[in-house]
Amino acid sequence: MPISTLLGLGIEFAGLGTLIFLLLLTGYFVVYRKFLKGTKRLPVKRLLWWGLFFCYCFVVLGVTILFRASSLLPEPIHGLFYSYRDAWAHWSLVSWRNIILNFCMFMPLGFMLPLGTPFFRHGLATGLAGFLFSLFIELIQLITRRGMFEPDDLLGNTVGTLIGYGLYLLGCCFLRILRRKKPYRTGKTLLAQLPLLLTVFVFGCIFLRYQSMELGINPSTYIVPYSSKRFSLKSDYPFSAEKGNGCVYKTKYLSLTEEKALAKEIFEDLGVHLREDLIDIYDNTTFFHTMEGRYALWVDHKGGTYQLTDYQTIFSHEEPAPQPVEGASEEELRNALTRWKLTSQAMVSGISFEEKENGWYKFTLPSPIPVPSSGNQGEAAMAEADRHYAIGALSCQYYGEGKIGQLKNQLIDCKKGKEYPLLSEQEAYEELKKGRFYYPDTPFLDIYIADCKLIFLMDSKGYLQPSYEFTGTINGEDGYLRIPALRRN
């Protein structure tokens, strides 16, 4: 979920919380003061603190519980630091952001409790309050199935509360210094900054470690090993014990400027114009529109792959409305794709062609193939470092008469990188036996491996890394498991 959406939700729940608090306040004045003839008055500062505290709690409960829908099945409860392992294994900045937000969300609690109540001016009491409030949220999520019970959330919320408490003490010290008074318990204040310093240190080490890595995280990396009691593994395939080396390939990581240039080129080739005032930027992709409203384009940051939709073809007002065409030939599809000249360079010889369902067709390059040079330099004279390769797949939904309703261009332009030692097929299979694979959480897996092949997957830094793909059946249905092929140091 984008940060802007989270902020919008926070503002909405803050407004609703303010309205509810004002209604309660009105009830206080009407019932207590008028009908019960109460004489006790609430100080203005106290009233403001209660208002802010109530709105804060309402925002937290709204974002974590009220906003979410209940899931049909109960979510699994993972062990401590599972979300950190998950964020690392898939190197998801969104996941890291959510982890950090768990700390930030409870920092106001740690600041406000000692500000409004003398009892919470002890760090232990404030930390315990943060832990109990977080536990209450996690239990409600578990019971109502509006989210997951995550020990990592308990940890992050509690530490966030302690960080807020430390900032409260630091603020008190600065106020006393400004008022030319003796600082309030300097030693205690410095000690209370440890949660903040340790948090910054830990996350700093994580991100520095990632930045220092030559390659990114392979998407087939496992999070935690599957227990041997939770799966059975069988195979009659003759796995090779031969060891060798394999290349990685470097792809492009497009900036917004490069994505806009690509979108303009694609749209101009189709005779339409980019609408520059309506560009939606997401975590992994950018969404472009045309002035004419006919086409929509999603461009991926990594690799520059894209998906194009022709609304006029799919939602035509013609009678009868055009329908996806089945049984088209490869030549007919190639001719239709010439409208997109950007795909022609990758449509090299050696690419496989197959028909899918409902008018979908797919061209596939399972391994990197050199792309012919468009310059004057001869292929033989071209330096290997400058040679371009293509890998991936291109899918389209064909409507006949040269019309394509949807185009998914996952053909990636890349250059050859370094060579690295690879695991043998047998060694990769041994990794499977140890449960070192990623698969959605399932009570038990009955796995049969029928085939093994080497494929390339894009890692988190835009490199295409070799991986072993084991295909067969999982619990009686077709499936696959993947193991990174690069040998770990």
Residue 341 banded pLDDT, cuts 50, 70, 90: low
pLDDT score, position 398: 93
Angle at 206 between CA 205 and CA 207, to 5 degrees: 95
Concatenating the DSSP letter of every residue in 429-456 gives: HHHHHTT-S-----S-EEEEEEEEEEEE
pLDDT score, position 158: 97
Of residues 18 and 240, which shows the higher confidence score?
Answer: 240
CATH number of 251-416: 3.30.310
Residue 183 banded pLDDT, cuts 50, 70, 90: low
pLDDT score, position 74: 77
Q: What is the mean pLDDT of residues 335-346?
A: 66
CA distance 167 to 162: 9
pLDDT score, position 72: 77
Decide if pLDDT at 328 tops 80: yes
pLDDT score, position 425: 95
Query: pLDDT tens for residues 444-460?
Result: 999 999 999 999 999 99
CA distance 285 to 262: 13
Residue 381 banded pLDDT, cuts 50, 70, 90: very low
Decide if pLDDT at 376 tops 50: no
Decide if pLDDT at 382 tops 50: no
Task: Tell me the CA distances in angstroms from 411 to 85, 252, 388, 394, one per residue in order.
Answer: 30, 12, 12, 6
Q: Where are the beta strands (DSSP E) in 371-476?
A: 388-400, 403-409, 412-422, 445-458, 463-474
Closest CA to 344 of 407, 253, 427: 407
Which token pair is 269? 């080739």
Closest CA to 243 of 59, 63, 487: 487
Percentage of residues of the chain with pLDDT beyond 70: 89
> Torsion over CA of 155, 157, 159 and 161, rounded to 10 degrees?
-150
Q: What is the mean pLDDT of residues 36-58?
A: 80
Residue 343 banded pLDDT, cuts 50, 70, 90: low
pLDDT score, position 184: 63
Q: What is the mean pLDDT of residues 365-385?
A: 58
Report yes or no: 409 and 308 within 8 Å, Cβ to Cβ: yes
Phi, psi of 181 (to 5 degrees): -110, 165
Cis before 74 (ω within 30):
no
Report yes or no: 161 and 131 within 8 Å, Cβ to Cβ: yes
Residue 69 banded pLDDT, cuts 50, 70, 90: confident
> E strand or H helix at 34, and its extent?
none
Query: pLDDT tens for residues 292-308?
Result: 989 999 999 988 899 99
> Torsion over CA of 73, 86, 254 and 348, rounded to 10 degrees?
-80
pLDDT score, position 379: 42
pLDDT score, position 369: 77
Report yes or no: 483 and 436 within 8 Å, Cβ to Cβ: yes
Query: pLDDT tens for residues 107-124?
Result: 999 999 999 889 999 999
Residue 147 banded pLDDT, cuts 50, 70, 90: confident
Query: pLDDT tens for residues 153-162?
Result: 999 999 999 9
pLDDT score, position 430: 96
CATH 3.30.310 domain extents, the chain:
251-416
Number of other residues whose CB lies within 10 A of the CB of residue 53: 18
Task: Tell me the CA distances in angstroms from 330 to 283, 346, 366, one per residue in order.
Answer: 35, 15, 18
Residue 377 banded pLDDT, cuts 50, 70, 90: very low
Query: pLDDT tens for residues 389-399?
Result: 888 889 999 99
Closest CA to 161 of 192, 140, 184: 192
Q: What is the mean pLDDT of residues 374-382?
A: 44
Q: What is the mean pLDDT of residues 303-317?
A: 89
Q: What is the mean pLDDT of residues 200-219?
A: 95
pLDDT score, position 90: 87
According to DSSP, the β-strands at 403-409 and 388-400 are: antiparallel
Task: Tell me the CA distances in angstroms from 329 to 335, 341, 354, one per residue in order.
Answer: 10, 20, 9
Phi, psi of 251 (to 5 degrees): -105, 175
Of residues 423 and 22, which shows the higher confidence score?
Answer: 423
